[in-house]
């Protein structure tokens, strides 16, 4: 769905330059800050290298020679990401990206909330709502994610207890919310619930104990599920789902 903001005067302004670029659909706030620091953004006719400078409604911001303006129409698209798909908007090697899948459904540029690695499937939210993206991505809000992991060998009960207790990986301690065997399935099938957003965290948890993750599927994200959403398909969130996400975060 698209959510239209009520036209309140100066409701968005002033805002930081990197936020302005993100709301204009250029890229994420973090990437926008990099673009500004690299001297690629013009502010009132001059190169501006401070991403924190405040932009008012009457200021002019240009990127790649074009004036950019924040969108008031927010888009929330849920994708059941297929395998062999990159969680980026473009790929220099020409590999398939999530943008290749969804670009025909939207007119405004949207961006993924977090990442799934190339071979991980499942739920991925894409939006141009920078504020919601920032909150859903921050560990402070403990956004719940559930993964179904298929391992190369049965998970030993003692290793499950180690994961439950908490592990220390190369980048620090890792605590999962819960882990259990998938009902009526071999012990190679495991459900794991986390709120961390570290790179390849689920795969690395199992690899640290000598297991290889053959398949990894995210089946739940912040209250959203894959119900009636086949692999490779996407849908707009309902108004109720958007409200739920914002309330949750």
Catalytically annotated residues: 117
Spatial distance between the Cα atoms of 100 and 184, rounded to a whole number of angstroms: 36
Spatial distance between the Cα atoms of 174 and 11, rounded to a whole number of angstroms: 40
End-to-end CA distance of the chain, in Å? 19
| Number of neighbouring beta carbons within 10 Å of residue 169 | 13
Q: List own/partner pairs for 159-164 with CB under 8 A and 24 or more apart.
A: 159/209, 159/211, 160/190, 162/209, 163/192, 163/205, 163/209
Tallying the residues shown for the chain, one arrives at 249
Closest CA to 32 of 15, 45, 9, 13: 15
């Amino acid at each position: 769905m698209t959510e239209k903001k009520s036209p309140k005067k100066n409701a968005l302004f002033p805002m930081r330059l990197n936020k302005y670029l993100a709301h204009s659909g250029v890229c994420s706030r973090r990437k926008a800050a990099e673009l500004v620091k690299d001297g690629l953004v013009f502010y009132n006719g001059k190169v501006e290298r401070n991403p924190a400078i405040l932009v008012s409604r009457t200021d002019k911001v240009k990127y790649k020679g074009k004036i950019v303006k924040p969108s008031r129409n927010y888009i929330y698209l849920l994708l059941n990401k297929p395998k062999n798909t990159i969680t980026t908007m473009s790929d220099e090697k020409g590999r398939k990206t999530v943008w290749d899948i969804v670009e025909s459904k939207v007119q405004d540029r949207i961006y993924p909330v977090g990442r799934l690695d190339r071979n991980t499937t499942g739920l991925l939210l894409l939006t141009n709502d920078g504020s919601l993206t920032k909150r859903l991505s921050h560990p402070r809000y403990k956004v719940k994610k559930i993964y179904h992991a298929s391992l190369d060998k049965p998970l030993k009960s003692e290793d499950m207890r180690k994961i439950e207790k908490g592990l220390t990986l190369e980048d620090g301690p890792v605590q999962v919310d819960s882990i259990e065997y998938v009902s009526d399935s071999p012990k190679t099938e495991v459900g794991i619930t986390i709120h961390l957003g570290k790179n390849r965290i689920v795969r690395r948890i199992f690899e640290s104990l000598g297991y290889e993750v053959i398949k990894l599927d995210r089946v739940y994200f912040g209250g959203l599920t894959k119900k009636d959403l086949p692999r490779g398909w996407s849908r707009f969130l309902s108004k109720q789902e958007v409200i739920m996400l914002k309330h949750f975060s």
